[in-house]
Amino acid sequence: MNATSFPRQQQVSDDLLAWLSAQLAAGCRTGDLLDAMRASGWDEAVALQALQRLQPGAEAPLALPPIGPVPEPALAEGATAVEVDGRRVSVLMALRQPRVVVFGGLLGDEECDELVEQARPRLARSETVDNVTGGSEVNAARTSRGMFFQRGESPLIQRLENRIAALLRWPVRWGEGLQVLHYGPGAEYRPHHDYFDPKHPGTEAVLRRGGQRVGTLVMYLNTPARGGATTFPDVLLEVAAVKGGAVFFSYDRPHAVTRTLHGGAPVLEGEKWVATKWLREREFN
């Protein structure tokens, strides 16, 4: 099986279907076919579409079925703003696939500054989930410093959590504690997914605390002098970090087909402060 030797038109053609049929007839597994095509540059959504045409119902073992309902902002069709917690929050951009919504003015300047000051004394080198144990570890891909607040830890945290819950129509108790991150010059977070990959042995332990992550809200607590955008490589999108603004995205299954690969671009000048809220499929404890 060699996907690199096959023309990559990035669309489901008769030739592609014939090639896939031959590979399946030869005993290749659908998962291996998907991995090979993705490694050679195929768009994963195209590969999945083709495989599903050949094997109706193959999505479940291949890409995992949707988890269920996911957070969704309370937006009217074509809305340019939404009222939440007494604030008029601007809707600056929205994508359907992947589901990405960019907000302006979700937080006030004073709220941003206060959140930074509450977080600053507790910062430590940021960690990521250890895929083997389900614990946490320092990872070279993430060069920020950060800390977690407990849910409802202070009046400010409680107010922001209630605002987020109203905006995204997702219970406060179904969210992780708010995390604040600080990026100095050159600091970044390389592209990654926020869901927990079922293939990793540590995932089972992580899921016991509230199931899968199904949505992310990144809030910008300052405006870097240069750099620091939130990037979505799969859809060539960059969201500028603007104080008080935020970017929300959801993912209905723990798979790259959601196209929610994202990262924090390096800070080229100045610093960047963000607050992140991860949303789970059920109560987080």
Distance CA 285, CA 279 (A): 12
Distance CA 166, CA 83 (A): 10
CATH number at residue 153: 2.60.120.620
Q: Give the residue, 208 or 55, on which the prediction is more confident.
A: 208
CB atoms within 10 A of CB 140: 7
In three-state secondary structure terms, 109 is helix
pLDDT, position 26: 79
Would you say residue 70 lies in a domain? Answer: no
Mode of pairing for the β-strands spanning 145-148 and 124-125? antiparallel
Would you say residue 71 lies in a domain? Answer: no
In the chain, what percentage of residues exceed pLDDT 70? 85
Give the mean pLDDT of 83-93: 97
21 shares its domain with 128:
no
88 shares its domain with 201:
yes
Integer angstrom CA distances of residue 263 from 159, 171, 260: 27, 26, 10
pLDDT, position 134: 53
45 shares its domain with 104:
no
pLDDT, position 4: 43
85 shares its domain with 18:
no
Q: Give the residue, 124 or 52, on which the prediction is more confident.
A: 124
94 shares its domain with 53:
no
- pTM of the predicted model as reported, rounded to 2 decimal places: 0.78
231 shares its domain with 132:
yes
What total of structural domains would you count in the chain? 2
Contact 152, 158 (CB under 8 A): yes
Q: Which domain holds residue 43?
A: 3-62
116 pLDDT exceeds 90? yes
pLDDT, position 222: 98
Q: Give the residue, 182 or 25, on which the prediction is more confident.
A: 182
Would you say residue 75 lies in a domain? Answer: no
